[in-house]
Structure 1
């Protein structure tokens, strides 16, 4: 089963170069046997639509939690500690735009006790604040953990395809824990307490490789964006009966906030 939705190995190295200005749009490719990609079945976002979106040089996404912190997935980083190797690109839909803003990391905090099974969140501290861009608040209760969600990212638009130059977006419906853990879907692999499933039984719309760590979000009671999930894993990309699986942000909200405070964010 294809678990994580990050780019690995040589592809990640290529993406690091691409983020510096040579990223190409994806072209169709044969389906990889183990391969999530990006927002499949989506459309191109407009400039400024999701100002909190972050592209990370290791082949993942993220969201601005604060001007100095990016919330992403634990499986996108190697551990907690000083880290100056990550470049965050923000402020643009087009990764080749001359208007893009970049920041280097200086520290990574990975979820305590992370072992590859749940607890899939991490914070990346930036070397200097990002100003003039909206951040994305996290859900602190389960009030918004159902309904219809928005997903966005720069990963591939087809399973096994290349990464995207332009940010893409789509909407996906909530899938209950009971349904997602049924024999026709993930057969008990979902950690019901702290993972959320979202997608269509028929497939066709999903996050995928290159989207790991990016946010799943929706409107709150005040019609403002609020983050409810972090792109984590899935079986393939937009396959029938294989919805995307996301870290349930509300379950970890207090721990995330505490960690952010300790990092000065």
Structure 2
């Protein structure tokens, strides 16, 4: 009984009170619906503009021209309404320009709930401006999702978008970013993540945001998520037990069995990054964007793609939780796959 009670110590009270039907267990399926989820949240929430956003998640507004490779993915139907607000509301993921005709992003941004890939005609790419309402709009010729993408584990979370035409001119700053090659060691230490994703107060920004984080060993992510899994499992079992009159000793036995050997949440194709407090991180809408490290020559190199994070059951916020770092697709693992499609 003692271990189960200890596991519940940091669990939100709302989760402890819920029974089986009311507990929302995190799963890969929620990531598959990222497009509809983010678009729905943008409709429900007000935007936030300019310097008012600088204190959110420890981030700051990106300066014009700072990140010329950053792009955003938009629902084509909504974006083509042509208003500033429809352009803002149509954005659902990020990406990075890695060649004149190619955008690198996350698979979960482009895979539907039934497993099919979003049609090229249903997506448009925004470039050349830190303001998601401005800049240039580019049609898509092809969407390529990694053939081994696993929506349950959100593994092999990488995709490519081929533009209908190579970038020749733009209304604002634009350029490609270099990506880490096969065999490159991902360094631990300072990194930057950027995007137009959801912020701590639930709002979405018009301007591109940038945040300083640290790349840490995958074991750091695995340890934090294992502890949270234990707390979530404790709350789940307690809720079921209270609703059905199950003796506490039976719940304790079930808890011990279920938490005895929790496997790693991260695969070798993932990167762990963030801060111990969780106050500087990525969130919904940032998916597909770049995780970058500044090199000795002053250039930025992209090592990761914004992929997923985890929040406690019953948490009010989807992001920014202590000891729960963000997870990114490890680009060196997929460099050959990327190069094969871009060059072929």
Q: Give the TM interval when normalised to the shorter protein.
A: 0.7 to 0.9
Distance 1:185 1:221 in 2: 37
Q: Which has the higher contact order (CA 8 A, sep 6+)?
A: 1
For the residue of structure 2 that corresponds to 1:152, the secondary structure is strand
Does the Cα contact within 8 Å between 1:5 and 1:234 map onto a contact in 2? Answer: no
Distance 1:112 1:63 in 2: 20
Change (3 A) 1:109 1:238: same
* Structure of larger gyration radius: 2
Unaligned runs of 5+ in 1: 18-22, 28-38
For the residue of structure 2 that corresponds to 1:156, the secondary structure is coil
Distance 1:84 1:155 in 2: 23
Give me the CA root mean square deviation.
Answer: 2.6
Matches of residues 167-206 of structure 1 in structure 2 within 5 Å? 167-182=208-223, 183-184=226-227, 188-206=263-281
Matches of residues 160-239 of structure 1 in structure 2 within 5 Å? 161-182=202-223, 183-184=226-227, 188-235=263-310, 236-239=318-321
* 1:44 corresponds to: 61
For the residue of structure 1 that corresponds to 2:206, the secondary structure is coil
* 1:143 corresponds to: 185
Change (3 A) 1:137 1:102: same
Does the Cα contact within 8 Å between 2:73 and 2:126 map onto a contact in 1? Answer: yes
1:89 aligns with 2:110: no
Distance 1:42 1:2 in 2: 28
The alignment's TM-score, normalised by the length of structure 2, stands at 0.64
Matches of residues 100-179 of structure 1 in structure 2 within 5 Å? 100-116=135-151, 117=153, 118-131=155-168, 133-140=174-181, 141-158=183-200, 161-179=202-220
Does the Cα contact within 8 Å between 1:197 and 1:244 map onto a contact in 2? Answer: yes
Distance 1:91 1:7 in 2: 24
* 1:25 corresponds to: 47
Count of residue pairs brought into register by the alignment: 242
Does the Cα contact within 8 Å between 1:5 and 1:212 map onto a contact in 2? Answer: no
Unaligned runs of 5+ in 2: 1-25, 50-55, 76-91, 230-261, 311-317
Shift of 1:234: 0.3
For the residue of structure 1 that corresponds to 2:125, the secondary structure is strand
* 2:72 corresponds to: 55
Does the Cα contact within 8 Å between 2:142 and 2:162 map onto a contact in 1? Answer: yes
Distance 2:67 2:168 in 1: 15
Does the Cα contact within 8 Å between 1:25 and 1:166 map onto a contact in 2? Answer: no
Does the Cα contact within 8 Å between 1:229 and 1:246 map onto a contact in 2? Answer: yes
Shift of 1:152: 0.4
Change (3 A) 1:144 1:222: farther
1:187-218 residue CA offsets vs partner (Å, 9 max, x unmatched): 64433411001011112110000001011011
Shift of 1:169: 0.2
Does 6-15 or 179-188 show the bigger shift?
A: 6-15
The alignment's TM-score, normalised by the length of structure 1, stands at 0.82
Does the Cα contact within 8 Å between 2:32 and 2:108 map onto a contact in 1? Answer: no
